[in-house]
Structures are given as C-alpha cells and as structure tokens.
Structure 1
C-alpha cells in the first residue's frame, strides 16, 4: 500500500488544517486512515482532547511523537503510514504515548509483489536546465575542484598539508589568479593496510577511490601513498582501469624523499594543474546530467511527513526531466523494501534489492548485531521508535517513480531514473559511496539538525520543521516546516527544492560549502578483517 502522505500530504486531526484567527493550529497529523497512531504537531499535555479522533491525551506527548488512537493489545501490530512499524509490547490505551516503552520489533511477512505498481515514466515536454561544466569527454560537473586522494592513512598528513597551502581563508593569494577553481581538497581515510590484498574490503576501498579519481567535479587529482602499504597505488590504478595523465598524478612519500619533500612536490603538481583547471566556463545543460544522492540523517518524527516526501516530489520532477536519483542506506529501508520491489521495472531488479536485504541480515547476525539498532538516540528523542518506522519515513525520499536498477557500494551509476545503491545507514559512509558512483549533488534531509558536507559534491540540507530551521538556520538550505502547518503542500515544496537543485548545480553555494564542510566527511566503507 502506498503511503498516502507521499501523494496528498499530511492530514490534520482534531482541527482544520489552515489556522486562522478563529481556528486554532491543528494539534496532530493523521497520515493514513488505517493508522493506529497520530503525530503530535506540538507538545501535548494530559487532558488535551482530540475530537476528530474521539480521544483524550493521557500524559505528556513531545512534538513529533505518536499518540494511540485506539486500544492495542499486547502483541498487536501498530501501524503508521498504513504500514506496520512494530508490535505492542504491552497493552496500550487510546490517548497514550506510543514509543520505545510500549512498542517493539518482531518478525512479520512482507509481500514483495514484484513490479505490481511499476508504471512507465511520464517525461516532461521540455527539459529543465542548469549551468554545468562540460568536461572534454562529455561528463558534466557541478563543481570544479582539484582533489588529493590517499592510498592509505599514512599519507593523510601530507595530503592535508598540500591542500592547506591552497586554502583561500589562510592563503588567499594561492588561488587568486584562478577564480574558476572551487578549491583544493584532501580526502583522507583511516584504512589501506593490514587487510587481505585479495579481500572484499580492499576491493571496495579501491573502487571508492577509483570513483573519486574520475569524478567530473575534479578537474585534476593527485593520489598519494606511503609506498609499502597493502593498497599499492599501481595495483589500485590497474583494478580501476586508470592511467596517469596531466590531470591524474600519483607518487609515494618513500620514493619522493620524505614528508617535507613530498609536500613541496605535491604543491608544485597542484600549481601545474591550476591553469588548465581554471579554463572552464558554465553553460546550460539538460537536467538529465544531474545525479542526486538522497540522504537523511538526524531524522525525527516529522521526517517522513515533510522533508522526505518533499524530496520525493523533487525526485519525481528530476526523473521526469531525465535525471538520476540514488536512494541508499539499506538498513534504513529495512521493513519497507516491499514498497520498492512493487515499483521495480523487472523482477530481476526487485530481487537484487531483496538480496541486499538478506546480505544485511546475515551481516548483522555474524557480528551479533540487530537491524533494529539503527535508530539513534536523537532519532528516538525526535519521535522515531523502530527501524521499521524510520524506514517507512526514509523511503519517502524516493518519490513515486519506478526503481530501475540496484547497485553495490561505490559502483558506477549509469542508469537514468531512480536507482538504489547498497550502503550502510551511516551518512558519511553512505554519501561517500554515492559520490564514488557519480553523484554530483547530494540532498540531505534532517529533523534533529545534522551538519554535513560532501566535497567535491555540493550538499543541500533540508529541515523537517520550523523549530529546527529557527534554531539552526545557518546550516539549512530549505525549510519544509510549512508543510506541517498546512501553509505549503508537498508538491509546492518539491518544486521549490527541484529549482534549488538546479540553482546549486549551477554554482550557487550551499550552506555546508560556505562553512567548509566536506573533507572530513569522506569515509569509505570499511568492511572485512583488519590484521
């Protein structure tokens, strides 16, 4: 069953949706007629009546949290979005707070109904455009950086020293003659050695580095190693089909002669790339060149009601204009994957997604973990109770378009439309995989206030509620709070967000770029044994 809130927007309960001088602000939101809960728009105190639900609130209900609308017996399924989010761990009375103290996970069957809801994409009559940077080979960039990658943690300090030389805030003259270069960034990591040279972990790291090395948002790339690490640069270049060129240079600290000499050499190599990197200009290109990674972090009880559905509406517009959206965070679609398999363009695509879910179940079992450990302390404080509830809200980012392909972590994304990439739920690791796959824009919804960037790809932060926007506006690019108050519809906010995507891809700096986020958030997925 489709989440009604994705189509029509949230429905108020207890009061009309548009407050006026004589009509008070709605107190709760009902998302689906079959739901056992409604969502508090603001803090509710005991004794508050909800006449449309025929109940009286019992106790304190924080904003974004759930209120039971009917009696639930122990073991009975609890529904939100018309879908199961957990099972009552004790009897729940109408008007009670529904949260971690009285709802728990349990196994239940899901009908994957492969391709049942698949529909051909209705493409727009005319294509939207943005001002992109077209590389010599036809790839389209949204930014123009020089990047410094490392094969191993041991070369991280050198890489950062080289990038620091070109910081506009501390050494403005270094890039003064190159206004078209967005900056020089060092993307370092903590692995690259003491791993199986033929194992999955190293192969995954090499695939990630290879994806960044050819990312269109880099005009030039340096890859720096120590020299004796397991992740040998020559082998990484071979496995990824890379060769040295004027825009791709590699060297090792041990061969260059030590730290100081390597830093000096790296600075000179970057200087040699700057003139060519600066010879770019933006020109209108179709929106079909946009590849947008979808993220949500610091989610709350409003994420699946406002920001995520608004992003989903923007995704539908993007796909209608021929673009690509990458949904990820496999543990955060767990329990809601059946809503995607129904939209798969083929049974093969749907089964690829289910196979990744089974991989995660096995992975967690091997590591004595549980899929339901995903909701963080902040998620729970914001009103989310189980991973099922989090997943059902998170999947709203995908809009209503068909699922056309499923990729493993950091694989190159070549399909157009909505695709899925298997990643962890941890945002830096997930977005790193998306960018390695080719994402040239990230859209990141948050209800608690995540601070995040993702060089070389700009990242837009989308707030779920007015309180967050008012508190942390300096980190947010768009506020979807007006959806909760009924002042804006999901479709209106989706259209505004789509235009913001185009503007950002055209060069408008995001809040995270202004604050300098993006280098520390490069976190390749570390998997496998470290010896």
Structure 2
C-alpha cells in the first residue's frame, strides 16, 4: 500500500507529501496526529512541528532552510515562509571507513566495449570533428552536410516527411485533410551505414576560442583534449583559423597533460595555411574519410566492469528526485565503485549545504582542501556578479517542491551514493582514479554533462523529475525518471523509471541494481539510450571569464 507521507531522515522536522493532501486532512506519523492547514501537493513539504521565525528546518538530516516567519504545525512550506540556509563547513575531515555493497554477482560480468591503446574502453565508437574557434563553425557544418547522409549516419527525419505531406495536401486543395495527418504513421527508413563499427561522426560547434580572456581559450582547449581522449572517441579532425587565442599548440599541450602517449589519430588543419576554403575542406574531408576506414576496424570485445566511468547528473529535478531517482543512482554508483570503476559527481552549486558531509568522505586532506577552495571560489564569483548559490533553484524546481537551494542540493548529492571521494577535479581535468570523483562544473545540465564527457565519462546517468531532453555527442546519457507520471508521459526520453520507489514497489537497492544492468546493456551496444535515438547532441563549454 502506498504511504501518503514520508520522513526522509530521523532528524528531519518536516514531512514530504507522496500524494496530494487536502487542507483539514489529518495525517498520522510516529503516533502523532497532524492536521493540515493548507492543501499540500505531492512532492511538497509540510511542518511536522510549529516553527518560530528564524528556526532551522531540517531535511535529509541537515539544515535546508529557516523559517522566515512563524510556521504552524501542518502548514505547507513555500518560498514565502522558508528562506535558504545551510550549515557552515570547516574543511576538516572526519573520515570513516566505508563498507561497500555486495557485488559478488557482478564480479565476473563484462561489457562489450571498444578497447583503446591506452587501456581505456569505450561504450561507443565515434569520430569527432570540432573547431578550435567559432570562425570555423560554418566549415564544420559544410563537412557535416557532406558526410552524414552519404555515409548513412543521418537520422530519418519524419517531421520533414510530415511537412511534405501537408504541403502536398495544401497544393492539391485538400487543406481540410491536414488536421487528420499524424506524424506517428510516417514510416522511417533504417540506417544504411557504410562503416559498420562506427556509431557516428559528431560535428560540434561552439562560440569560443577567441574574443574572451585567454583562460577561457585554455579551458576550451583542455575540454576538447578531454573529448579527444574520451574512450568513446576513435580520433578527431580539428579545424583552426590560425589567428585565434585557442591555438593548436595549446591543444597539444593539454593533450600531452592528459595522455602523453596518445596514439589516436588527430587531424589538425589551419585555414590560413591551407589557403582557400575549397582547399581546406577538400583536405579535411579526404583525410577524415581515410581515418574513418581505420576507425572502422575497432570491434566490440569483452571488458571488465571496472572500465566503466559513469557521470552522475540531474536536471529538471522535482521533490521526488532526492527520494527515488538520485539515491537509486547513488546505489548504482556505489556498485560501480565497488567493482573498481570510476564515477563522477559534478554540479558544485548543487552541493551547497552538504559540503561537510563530502569533506568527511574525502580520502585525503589535499582533496578536501581542493574541494573547499573550489566551492568558496565559485560561490564568491557568483556573489561578485550579484547572484549566489541560493538562486540556483529554477521555477520548475520550486513549482515541484524544491524551494531552497539547500533542499535541492541535499537531494542532488544522493547521486554520489556513500562511497569515499578519491579525487577532486577542477573543470576539464581528466578522471584517473577508480572510485567517486568530484568535478567542478555549473549546475546547468548541458554545461555539466559536456564537462563530464570531457573528463572521461563513457556513460552518464541523468535523473529528472520534470523531463529534460539532454544528451551528449560522444557519451550515452541515460534518463532516470523520479516518478511514474513523468515516465509514462515522456517515455520517448526516459530510459529508466524509479517511480516504484515512491509507490513502494521497489527499494532503492533494487532500483540501483536495475540501473547497473541497464548500464551494462547500453555499454555493450545491446540497447541505445533514448537521447541517442532522438539525436540529442548537446555541447556547451563553460565560459568562466568576461569578454575582452
């Protein structure tokens, strides 16, 4: 039977509505009867006790806000009566040993991946085409038009056929029949790929490389270097104009820092050296095609699960995300770590309020100090432009029960499970240590997933309660729904549904195990992520500086 309320942690002083509750309704918890003073929508919170003004509100066992004015027992929490508040953090570790989950049934399991010469294993096999500067975006698009359809990588566009049918009816004087058409009835041709072992050629564009501060160009080069080194990438074609800040020499420096013995083919062409646009494109297309013939020689082979590097992301979060999807992903993260793999928790603005918990999980003072430094520096830079982490929740978050950043952060951090933190990385640093890694990124969904792929993630788990159509060009992004309603309504983007945790059908551990099994299938090429089927190739580098 579905419970209608939940207390997340024994130390909490608020309750979560799991179903819509009505004003005047009496709910019982721990032998106490509470009369609701207002309607409480599912996912929202109400007071288990009366609060005085400025009294602290606890969720997930930590401070998640403070009463702005007196709040009655049974009153719903809103942005009008609760303000953002977090506990202070010291930076001093209180590390405790970790007991990993039992992974004996996966100990000898493998996935079918693409083995790279440096020992990394890809879950996919892509060729990357990317500019060092936005001036080359047009040439990237010309190359894309030349390659994708001729080589069979273009996704069928049923909407193009849909418009054609409407055009034909209109020109035939049958306007009245247009409303009876449905895009669902349009048949799509299957893929006819020339290169059977290549999952795609990814043509990325961006607005960086010149015009901003030099540090932004350095960061961009580091990010691109991470994408080239990502195990899901067989090689890359890089277009440079020649005079921009993001120079090929900087890219090479960043590549050497990540992998001094990189053996992947990297084609770098400079327009101001090649001459005409025709000469540049002819050379780029010929060299890329020949490189693709070599990349097609890779075939999937068995690899241990320790070769997984899993990014942990959330976007379009709701009041159930921290109860179902995020802790389920957290358990999957613990399983991957226990099997010797790597996981990445990012989105630093959404770790606000849980800093001390994460500091305590760091395996070294050096990592803890780096985390503290990055968090404080990031918070200060936000405040310097008149903002702050407290302004992180979006209108959608607030509408669905996440009314303070601390409340959102406490739930978001559950994606990292309970395992020790082995390393703390700044933006565009590459993951090297098995275990849970913290990566400094924005909370913005695409900027964060872009960064995790650049740090080596070969799979990304993306939890959502509202529905977010985000993908990545080189790394499969699996969408994990926090609730049944979303999973049913937007089943075209949702890969995994953890709504059973809310309804009482599944435990968090059971869902975590299901997620791991899904990861193995995706990593082996047995299934495709919905984001790949929808061709969601989102790529937004983080621009940290001002423009000059």
Q: Same fold (TM over 0.5)?
A: yes
Question: Quick one: structure 1 residues 391 and 174, their matched pair in 2 at CA, closer, same or farther if it must change by over 3 Å?
Answer: closer
Q: Report the alpha carbon displacement of residue 431 of structure 1 after superposing the two structures with TM.
A: 1.6
Checking the alignment, whether the CA contact within 8 Å between 2:218 and 2:250 is kept in structure 1 is no
Deviation, structure 1 residue 115: 3.5
Give the Cα–Cα distance (whole angstroms) in 2 for the partners of residues 244 and 505 of structure 1: 23
Superposition pairs of residues 5-404 of structure 1, within 5 angstroms: 19=1, 25-52=2-29, 53-106=32-85, 108-110=87-89, 114-119=93-98, 124-125=103-104, 126-167=107-148, 168-169=153-154, 176-197=193-214, 200-241=215-256, 247-404=265-422
1:115, 1:345 within 8 Å by CA — same for their partners in 2?
A: no
Tell me how far 1:356 sits from its aligned partner.
Answer: 1.3
Cα displacement string for residues 473-523 of structure 1 (whole angstroms, at most 9, x for unaligned residues): 1100000000001100000000000111111111121000000011xx211
Alignment gaps of 5+ in structure 1: 1-18, 20-24
Contact 1:244 1:250 survives alignment (8 Å): no
C-alpha spacing 1:327/1:243, structure 2 compared with 1 (3 Å)? closer
CA distance in 1, matches of 2:296, 2:404: 49
CA root-mean-square deviation: 2.1
How far apart are the structure 2 equivalents of 1:255 and 1:173? 41
State the secondary structure of the residue aligned to 2:111.
strand
**1:363-512 alignment to 2 at 5 Å?**
363-507=381-525, 508-512=527-531
- Cα deviation, 1:388-422, whole Å, max 9, x if unaligned, reads 11110011001111111111111111100011111
CA distance in 1, matches of 2:144, 2:267: 15
TM-score (norm 2): 0.88
Q: Distance in 2 between matches of 1:286 and 1:49?
A: 53
Q: What residue is the counterpart of 2:181 in the other structure?
A: none
**Distance (Å, rounded) in 2 between the aligned partners of 1:482 and 1:377:** 26
Q: Which residue number corresponds to residue 161 of structure 2?
A: none
In structure 2, distance between residues paired with 1:490 and 1:123: 15
Distance across 2 between alignment mates of 1:238 and 1:113: 35
In 2: Cα distance, 1:127 partner to 1:268 partner: 43
Q: 1:244 to 1:119 in 2, by over 3 A?
A: closer
Q: What secondary structure sits across from 1:405 in the alignment? A: strand
- What is the DSSP-based 3-state SS (H/G/I as helix, E as strand, rest coil) of the residue aligned with 1:35? coil
- 1:513 corresponds to 2:532: yes
Q: 1:442 is paired with a residue of what secondary structure?
A: strand
For the Cα contact (< 8 Å) 1:166–1:175, is it kept in 2? no
Distance 1:274 1:85, change over 3 A: same
SS of the residue 1:269 aligns to: helix
d(CA) in 2 for partners of 1:89, 1:426: 28
CA distance in 1, matches of 2:61, 2:262: 54
Q: CA deviation at 1:226?
A: 2.0
- The SS at the match of 2:313 is strand
Q: Secondary structure of the residue that 2:291 maps to in structure 1?
A: helix
Give the conservation status (yes or no) of the 8 Å contact 2:100–2:338.
yes
Looking at structure 1, the residues matched to 356 and 293 of structure 2 have their Cα atoms a distance apart, in angstroms, of 51
CA contact (8 A) 1:336 1:395 kept: yes
Q: CA deviation at 1:238?
A: 3.6
Report Cα offsets for 1:345-374 as digits up to 9, x if no partner.
Answer: 122222221111111122122222111011
**How far has the Cα of 1:428 moved from its partner?**
1.3
Distance in 2 separating the partners of 1:173 and 1:392: 44
1:5 aligned partner: none
Change in Cα spacing, 1:106 to 1:486, as seen in structure 2 (3 Å) is closer
Displacement after TM superposition at 1:240 (Å): 3.3
Alignment partners' CA distance in 2, 1:281 and 1:325: 25
Change (3 A) 1:363 1:425: same
Counterpart contact for 1:123–1:321, Cα < 8 Å: no
Cα 1:325–1:235 shift into 2, 3 Å? closer
Asked if 1 retains the 8 angstrom alpha-carbon contact of 2:101 and 2:335, the reply is no
Q: 1:97 to 1:516 in 2, by over 3 A?
A: same
Instruction: Between 133-142 and 160-169, report the one with greater CA deviation.
Output: 160-169
Q: Deviations over 1:270-317 (max 9, x none)?
A: 211221111121111111111111100111110100000000110111
Count of aligned pairs: 504
